[in-house]
Amino acid sequence: MPKVRTKDILDRFKLELISGEEGVNRPITMTDISRPGLELAGFFDYYPAERVQLLGKTELTFIQKLDPETRADRLERLCTDITPVIIVTRDMPVPDELIEASEREAVPVLRAKLKTTRFSSRLTNFLETKLAPTTAVHGVLIDIYGVGVLITGKSGVGKSETALELVKRGHRLVADDCVEIRQEDDDTLVGNSPELIEHLLEIRGLGIINVMTLFGAGAVRSYKKISLVINLELWDQTKQYDRLGLDEETMRIIDTSIPKLTVPVRPGRNLAVIIEVAAMNFRLKRMGVNAAEQFASRLSDVIEDGDHEDR
């Protein structure tokens, strides 16, 4: 099922439908937008017909200078069976030849009031968000001091209970159990909750609770950029855990690598506080303060001083 149809653009930007109403359900599969200047000049060798076609003041002024027969031919060639939509900007008059061709081929022609560059920018942002690669991860997403922390781990390890404690401490829940993630840029992952379970937490023994109803609108948010992954796992006596914080582990989601910490779980450990401090420490690292590296540097200095004294 297509993620975006022409009708979505029509509704989202409150555009005016001029012609080609039969094609308003055509799928839009690309985020790229085409301004067909060369095509209107007669060069159709590389015409990207599958893109949204945008006609601004430059294109429409050029069209008017063509003789009627050439104008009709060029505009008809713009309307193919895979062209999702042709949008005229600046509220400019739509050529009659385009209306006739679009009606024949069922290509929607819409009109926008905005200037071409501004509308192109807004439309590109909308399409990139809607058509971004997506996946779903089992876990909990929390906004802690502005850091999007994805808490993962096996079922029953205590992810939701930890999330509840974090919400009580003033942080904001984004998603519990299932986190929908989209890659908006090469290094940007944004997570949100499926609509069905938005603002809900499942706590074993209590059942489903509504975080927004219990703690208020300030305890939830709709989406958040994921900056850190914390994996909870049951304490393994045989496993060597990182005690200095010098090891840089990452988790790959779609095409993006996110810093990852592994936190062992056992009775007596306050996971909420540990995760809270991990988020604060992550913020410090982004500001250039790395406690583990500072300690390693001090340790090296002490060892070097000791060697000098021995000599």
**Among residues 104, 138, 169, 286, which one is catalytic?**
138
How many residues can be counted in the chain? 311
Residue 118 falls in the annotated catalytic set? no
Residue 157 marked ligand-binding: yes
Per-residue pLDDT, 290: 74
Domain boundaries defined on the chain: 6-130, 134-295
Give bridge partners of residue 207 from the DSSP assignment.
203
Residue 150, exposed/middle/buried by CB under 10 A (0-12, 13-18, 19+)? buried
Per-residue pLDDT, 243: 65
Per-residue pLDDT, 184: 85
Residue 205 marked ligand-binding: no
Residue 159 falls in the annotated catalytic set? yes
Give bridge partners of residue 141 from the DSSP assignment.
150, 175
Per-residue pLDDT, 248: 79
Mean pLDDT computed over 47-74: 95
In the chain, the amino acid numbered 48 is P
Least confident range of 53-57, 237-241, 264-268: 237-241
Higher confidence at residue 226 or residue 156? 226
Residue 202 marked ligand-binding: yes
Residue 218 marked ligand-binding: no
CATH 3.30.565.10 fits 6-130, yes or no: no
Give bridge partners of residue 169 from the DSSP assignment.
none
Residue 298 falls in the annotated catalytic set? no
Question: Which residue in the block uniquely carries the two structure tokens 């590296």?
Answer: 293
How is domain 134-295 classified at the CATH fold level? Rossmann fold (3.40.50)
- Give the predicted TM-score (pTM) of the model: 0.75
Residues 6+ away with beta carbon under 8 Å from 89? 54, 55, 56, 57, 111, 112, 114, 115, 116, 119
Residue 138 falls in the annotated catalytic set? yes
CB 234 within 8 A of CB 202: no
**Among residues 159, 172, 199, 224, which one is catalytic?**
159
Nearest CA-CA partner of 124 in 75, 54, 49: 54
